[in-house]
Structure 1
Amino acid sequence: MQERENVLKSMVAGGRAAIGLWCSLGSALTTEIVAGSGADWILIDGEHSPNDLRSVVAQLQAAAAFRCEAAVRLPSDDLNLIKQFMDGGARSLMIPNVKTADQARGIVSAMTYAPGGIRGFSVGHRANAFGRIKGYHANARNQQLLAAQIECATGVANAAEIAAVEGVDVLFVGPGDLSANLGVMGNPSAPHVQEAIASVLAAAKAAGKAAGILAPNPADADRYLAAGFTMVAVGSDLGLLARGSDDLVSRFRTWTGRTLQAPLG
């Protein structure tokens, strides 16, 4: 048995745009729906969503029926969390608020078996199909992807050094946190935030790495894709449900309070 190709890693390594969707509802059913949309990748969020190891594994199982790559955002760079979630099958990781190259190297080490790293060894876990993937441990890094989130001024200043770390595949901008940390919470369109975002993209390109961003506004997503971002999330299950239900109810709001006639007949 062979490990299946990480299509997200292949796409961004080749400079191709990969369109993704965020999964924030903590439900294997909603993640299954999103994974079947045709997206190139999904992001199961463990930072700002009601997820734990068991719920993430259930969502990875649901997504496995589809071609898209299921990435997982951990709540932090905790080495034990990295080990547990990777053993559970999360091979594409997003780590929030990476500030320095040393921090990035520590994350890569936690993802890598000895002698190159410190990932704990287990013979049969979900990541290697419970021992069925031949040569998994020696080749595990081949299908792994690391997206380091840049979300503060320190991370922006160190973006070039972070991008240069072997094992970092993507510099992924978190525009919400970045705007907050740059003093304009909720306004990533502010000129100095846009300058910071552009500098992260430039740093990634200079290092031969990909750049990613969350852009639920279609106009923003188009603009970032045109600029050269390749790992682009264009929406979320939460946003689609909230906005869709809002719009649907609003469509019928004019009927509220009306006295309707009795049914005919």
Structure 2
Amino acid sequence: MLERVNGLKRALAAGTPAIGVWCSLATPLTTEVIAGSGADWLLIDGEHSPNDLRSIVAQLQAAGAYPTCEPAVRLPSDDPNLIKQIMDGGARSLMVPNVRTADQARTIVAAMTYAPGGFRGFSVGHRANAFGRIRNYHATAREQQLLAVQVECETGVANAAAIAAVPGVDALFVGPGDLSTNMGAMGNPSAPQVQASIAQVLKAARSQGKAAGILAPQQADAERYLKAGFTMVAVGSDLGLLARGSDDLVARFKPR
């Protein structure tokens, strides 16, 4: 058995835009609905959603029925033990929040990589290698892995080019909420200083031949970022779709 090609990694390497949807509801059923939507990728959120290892694995299983949609997992931190567990559970596309330095990025890459290149713990059979069925998995695992590191503070912005230059980093992904908050503009990613930093991250990623990504749930923002050159763009979330859809539905029947 051969490992399935990571379509998201291939698209980003080619400079092709890849449209994604955040999955925050922590249930396999809603993740399965998103996976079948035609999205190029989805993000199972382990940082700000009530997910644990078992619920993440269950969502990876649900998304696996849709091979054209690559499921990525955002970890709550850069803890190597969490990286090992999530990867053994079948995630090969990872997003790590608040990466501030190139050294931090190098450690994350090492945690994803078997020796001698890194220190990912070795296990003969797990979900990532189809329980031992993928031929030469341990020697070739890095080929289909993708790492998107989130830039969410001024330190990360200042070090963005150095972070992007780290081998094994595939994308710099802007977290506009945290970035705006950390820059004194909470809830206002459109603030001029935040927009300047977002543009700086894009420039840094492109200078190193890496992709840039961002979460942009407003259509006008998403279209603007795509036009600017961002290619890993999340355009909404399951939570947002349900909340706005239910609000709109109920409002139609409420007295005005």
Please report the TM-score for the alignment, with normalisation by the length of structure 2.
Answer: 0.99
Root mean square deviation, CA, Å:
0.6
What SS does the corresponding residue of 1:70 show, helix, strand or coil? strand
- One-letter code of the match for 2:84? K
Match of 1:100 in 2: 101
Residues 1:28 and 2:28 are matched in the alignment: yes
* Aligned residue in 2 for 1:133: 134
* Unaligned stretches of 5+ residues in structure 1: 256-265
Once the two structures are TM-superposed, the CA of residue 129 in structure 1 deviates from its matched residue by: 0.1
Using structure 1 for the length normalisation, give the TM-score. Answer: 0.96
State the distance in 1 between where 2:12 and 2:74 align.
Answer: 18
**SS at the partner of 2:118?**
coil
Deviations along 1:135-194, one digit per CA (max 9) or x if unpaired, are 000000000000000000000000000000000000000000000000000000000000
Which amino acid letter does the alignment assign opposite residue 83 of structure 1?
Answer: K
- Secondary structure of the equivalent of 2:131? helix
Q: Give CA deviations for 1:16-56 in whole Å, capped at 9, x if unaligned.
A: 00000000000000000000000000000000000000000
Distance 1:59 1:187 in 2: 32
Query: Any idea what the Cα deviations from partners look like across 1:97-122, whole Å, max 9, x if unmatched?
Result: 00000000000000000000000000
For structure 2, the 5+ residue unaligned runs are none
The Cα shift of 1:65 comes to 0.4
Equivalences for residues 40-189 of structure 1 within 5 A: 40-66=40-66, 67-189=68-190
SS of alignment partner, residue 254 of structure 1: coil
> 1:261: which partner in 2?
none
Distance (Å, rounded) in 1 between the aligned partners of 2:229 and 2:28: 32
Matched, 1:233 2:234: yes
Equivalent position SS for 1:94: strand
Q: Over residues 52-86 of structure 1, what are the superposed CA-to-partner deviations in whole Å (9 max), with x where a residue is unaligned?
A: 00000000000000020000000000000000000
Query: Which runs of at least 4 in structure 1 moved beyond 4 Å after TM superposition?
Result: none
Amino acid in structure 1 at the alignment position of 2:27: S
Distance between the aligned counterparts of 1:245 and 1:97, measured in 2? 32
Look at both structures and tell me which one has the larger radius of gyration over its CA atoms: 1
Match of 1:13 in 2: 13
| C-alpha distance in structure 1 between counterparts of 2:205 and 2:114, whole Å | 26
Tell me the residue number matched to 2:202: 201
Paired with 2:138 and 2:208, the residues of 1 have a C-alpha distance of 28
Give the Cα separation in 2 of the matches to 1:161 and 1:226: 24
The Cα offsets for residues 198-241 of structure 1, whole Å up to 9 and x where unpaired, read as 00000000000000000000000000000000000000000000
Secondary structure of the corresponding residue to residue 253 of structure 1: coil
How far is the alpha carbon of 1:254 from its aligned partner? 2.2
